[in-house]
């Protein structure tokens, strides 16, 4: 028999958790320490930081136009926050600690609740001390589905990452290596796909697959090619291409970039198709697709373009005002309002500047009125490539003749290259612009713009 007291506490609990009809309780997203079998079988699992106990974290998959509602619960020993990379999001939900929200302290929580305007392949990751936190495993795919998706036999996310593990203990190597920060970034010695050393997905000859590639690595630029498969690029950084493009040359994915492919398995039964990584000294299998049986169909026609997302058109880019964002290594630069010499910058772990400022400046690099069209000239005056990411917007890189290319949120700018981009500043708020080689972002390559 329940006592009267049990009943009363039960009722009180009901009253406390009562919500308006129709509103479901938000799901939790728990950031905590965990373990993941990153190294091959036979090695110990690696201590990681992760969402909901897995590396990568749980795939969130919602229909276009839905709201994403998650209560971040921080069970880490350090403050954290979540950035929803590539979502044209409400600024307060962008997850940049110190700019759009306070970091969530250990034991604290934060309710993320926002609309998903665009279909496509996105991802979410920590945006507090991201150099370390993303590298320790706080990253996961976010898939927004089209109302009517393409006709495929499977829809698979391949999240590429690399890890720097101690070869003996397979623990994540310590952070704070200044050589990483001042050079190409923190490269790993173990590449994983969806958190696994080996990725094998059985398929059939003739099957048509949608592959969603996400580069979650800290610094590694992946160059990928197809083996035993033929296919088309249908979207970049979530945004559909107007016309699917046949995969010919290797696909380049800078950190944070995504590529959606639709591929047809051409390999015969008993052989192996796959996504391979192309490197200077040869190629190796990233994700294998052992072919077992045949889908027994005739070859399908090329896929149609995915439905476009509601991104406003920029009009004639030549008419848009131009802001220069100059990337430099080891200049004398401004930091927190003070001019410092290279040595003083190095002492603070700063090795890079954007337009003369190392680290996020007090004032935005651009103040745009809502709805204005703007150009940025991303000038790479350094000896390294940089993958520049703008929050809250997608932009188009301009070709040599000024023609706008496909929509992107992260652009690889090669050493010595200048790349102009155009975008409609239609999303009010404070938006970060930074290199997504996270060591570079930490060591100075971070700025921001404001739309009001
Ligand atoms: Cu994917 Cu500023 O981040
Ligand atoms: Cu960089």
Residues 374-418 have pLDDT tens digits of 999 999 999 999 999 999 999 999 999 999 999 999 999 999 999
Whether 15 has a pLDDT exceeding 50, the answer reads no
Q: Is the pLDDT of residue 10 over 50?
A: no
Give the ligand whose atoms come closest to the C-alpha of residue 439: 2
Atom of ligand 1 nearest to the CA of 441: 2
Do 238 and 120 contact (CB within 8 A), yes or no? yes
Handedness of CA 179, 335, 139, 451 (dihedral sign): negative
Confidence of residue 105 (pLDDT cuts 50, 70, 90): very high
In the reported structure, the alpha carbon of residue 7 is separated from the centroid of ligand 2 by a whole-number distance in angstroms of 60
Give me the pLDDT at residue 298, please.
79
Q: From the alpha carbon of 410, which atom of ligand 1 is closest?
A: 1
- pLDDT(246) > 90: yes
Output 3 or 404, whichever has higher pLDDT.
404
Residue 77 — pLDDT band, cuts 50, 70, 90?
Answer: very high
pLDDT above 60 (res 434): yes
> Measured between alpha carbons, how far apart are the two ends of the chain, in Å?
62
Tens of pLDDT, residue by residue over 303-336, are 999 999 999 999 999 999 999 999 999 778 889 9
| Mean pLDDT over the full length of the chain | 94
Over residues 187-205, mean pLDDT: 97
Per residue in 108-129, pLDDT tens?
999 999 999 999 999 999 999 9
Residue located nearest, by CA, to atom 3 of ligand 1: 85
If you measure from the C-alpha of residue 389 to the centroid of ligand 1, how many angstroms do you get, rounded to a whole number? 7
Residue 2 has pLDDT above 50, yes or no: no
Residue, of 339 and 3, whose pLDDT is higher: 339
Residue 279 confidence class, pLDDT cut points 50, 70, 90: confident
Ligand in nearest proximity to the CA of 410:
1
pLDDT single digits (tens) 345-355: 999 999 999 99
Residue 234 has pLDDT above 50, yes or no: yes
Ligand 2 centre to CA of 436 (Å) is: 6
pLDDT of residue 11: 44
Question: pLDDT at residue 134 above 90?
Answer: yes
The angle subtended at Cα 86 by Cα 425 and Cα 156, nearest 5°, is 150
Give the range among 11-25, 41-55, 184-198 with minimum mean pLDDT: 11-25
Report the nearest atom of ligand 1 relative to the CA of 434: 2
Distance between Cα 424 and ligand 1 center (Å): 19
Q: Which of ligand 1's atoms lies nearest the C-alpha of 391? A: 2
Closest-CA residue to 424 (of 443, 401, 407, 442)? 407
In the chain, % of residues over pLDDT 70:
94
pLDDT band at 18 (very low <50, low <70, confident <90, very high): very low
CA of 325 to the centre of ligand 1 (A): 17
Atom of ligand 1 nearest to the CA of 125: 1
Distance 156 CA to ligand 1 centre (A): 23
Is residue 420 pLDDT above 70, yes or no? yes
**Residue found by looking up tokens 């010499």 in the block:** 341
What pLDDT is recorded for position 20?
52
Q: How many residues does the structure list for the chain?
A: 452
pLDDT over 90 at 433, yes or no = yes
Indicate if the pLDDT at residue 135 is higher than 70: yes
pLDDT reported for residue 23: 61
The ligand minimizing its distance to the Cα of 94 is: 1
- 23 class by beta-carbon count within 10 Å (0-12 exposed, 13-18 middle, 19+ buried): exposed
pLDDT in tens, 156-178: 999 999 999 999 999 999 998 99
**Rounded Cα gap, residues 186 and 440, in angstroms:** 9
Q: In angstroms, what is the span from residue 433 Cα to ligand 1's centroid?
A: 9
The closest-lying atom of ligand 1 relative to the alpha carbon of residue 134 is 1
Ligand 1 first shell, C-beta below 6 A: 83, 85, 125, 127, 256, 389, 391, 432, 434, 436
* Residue 19 pLDDT > 90: no
263 φ, ψ to 5°?
-125, 150
CA pair distance 310, 168, nearest whole angstrom: 50
Distance CA 299, CA 14 (A): 58
pLDDT reading at 341 higher than 60: yes
The alpha carbon of 42 and the centre of ligand 1 are apart by a number of angstroms equal to 34
**Which alpha helices (DSSP H) does 89-200 contain, by range?**
130-135, 178-182
Q: What is the pLDDT of residue 22?
A: 56
Q: How far is the CA of 277 from the centre of ligand 2 (A)?
A: 21
Cα-to-chain-centroid distance, residue 91: 17
**Residue nearest (by alpha carbon) to ligand 1 atom 1:** 85
Ligand nearest to the CA of 87: 1
Q: What's the rounded mean pLDDT across residues 280-299?
A: 88
**Which residues lie below 8 Å from residue 134, measured CB to CB, with a gap of 6+?**
125, 126, 216, 218, 438
Band (12; pLDDT cuts 50, 70, 90): very low
Atom of ligand 1 nearest to the CA of 432: 2
């Amino acid at each position: 028999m329940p006592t009267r007291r049990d009943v009363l506490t039960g009722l009180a609990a009901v009253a406390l958790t009562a919500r308006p009809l129709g509103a479901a309780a938000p799901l939790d997203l728990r950031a905590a320490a965990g373990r993941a079998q990153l190294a091959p079988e036979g090695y110990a699992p690696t201590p990681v930081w992760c969402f909901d106990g897995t590396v990568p974290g749980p795939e969130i998959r919602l229909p276009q136009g839905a709201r994403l509602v998650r209560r971040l619960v921080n069970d880490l020993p350090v403050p954290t926050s979540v950035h929803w990379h590539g979502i044209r999001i409400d600024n307060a939900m962008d997850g940049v600690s110190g700019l759009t929200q306070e970091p969530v302290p250990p034991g604290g929580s934060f309710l993320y609740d926002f609309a998903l305007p665009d279909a496509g392949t996105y991802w979410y990751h920590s945006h507090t001390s991201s150099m370390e936190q993303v590298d320790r495993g706080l990253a996961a795919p976010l898939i927004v589905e089209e109302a009517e998706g393409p006709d495929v036999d499977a829809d698979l996310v391949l999240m590429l990452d690399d890890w720097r593990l101690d070869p003996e203990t397979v623990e994540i190597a310590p952070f704070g290596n200044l050589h990483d920060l001042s050079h190409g970034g923190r490269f790993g010695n173990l590449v994983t796909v969806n958190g696994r050393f080996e990725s094998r997905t059985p398929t059939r000859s003739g099957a048509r697959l949608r592959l969603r590639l996400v580069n979650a690595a800290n610094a590694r630029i992946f160059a990928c090619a197809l083996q035993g498969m033929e296919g088309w690029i249908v979207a970049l950084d979530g945004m559909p291409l107007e016309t699917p493009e046949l995969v010919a040359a290797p696909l380049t994915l800078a950190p944070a970039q995504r590529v959606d492919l639709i591929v047809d398995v051409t390999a015969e039964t008993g052989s192996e198709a796959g996504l391979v990584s192309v490197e200077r000294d040869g190629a190796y299998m990233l994700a294998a697709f052992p072919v077992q049986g045949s889908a027994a169909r005739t070859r399908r026609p090329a896929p149609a373009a995915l439905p476009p997302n509601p991104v406003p058109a920029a009009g004639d880019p030549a008419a848009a005002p131009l802001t220069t964002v100059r990337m430099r290594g080891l200049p004398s630069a401004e930091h927190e309002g003070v001019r410092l010499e290279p040595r003083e910058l190095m002492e603070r772990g700063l090795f890079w500047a954007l337009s003369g400022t190392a680290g996020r400046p007090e004032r935005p690099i651009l103040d745009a009125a809502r709805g204005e069209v703007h150009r940025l000239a991303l000038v790479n005056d350094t000896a390294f490539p940089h993958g520049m990411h703008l929050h809250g917007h997608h932009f188009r890189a301009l070709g040599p003749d000024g023609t706008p290319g496909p929509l992107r949120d992260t652009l690889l700018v090669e050493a010595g290259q200048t790349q102009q981009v155009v975008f409609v500043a239609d999303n009010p708020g404070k938006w970060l612009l930074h290199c997504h080689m996270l060591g570079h972002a930490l060591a100075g390559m971070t700025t921001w713009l404001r739309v009001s």
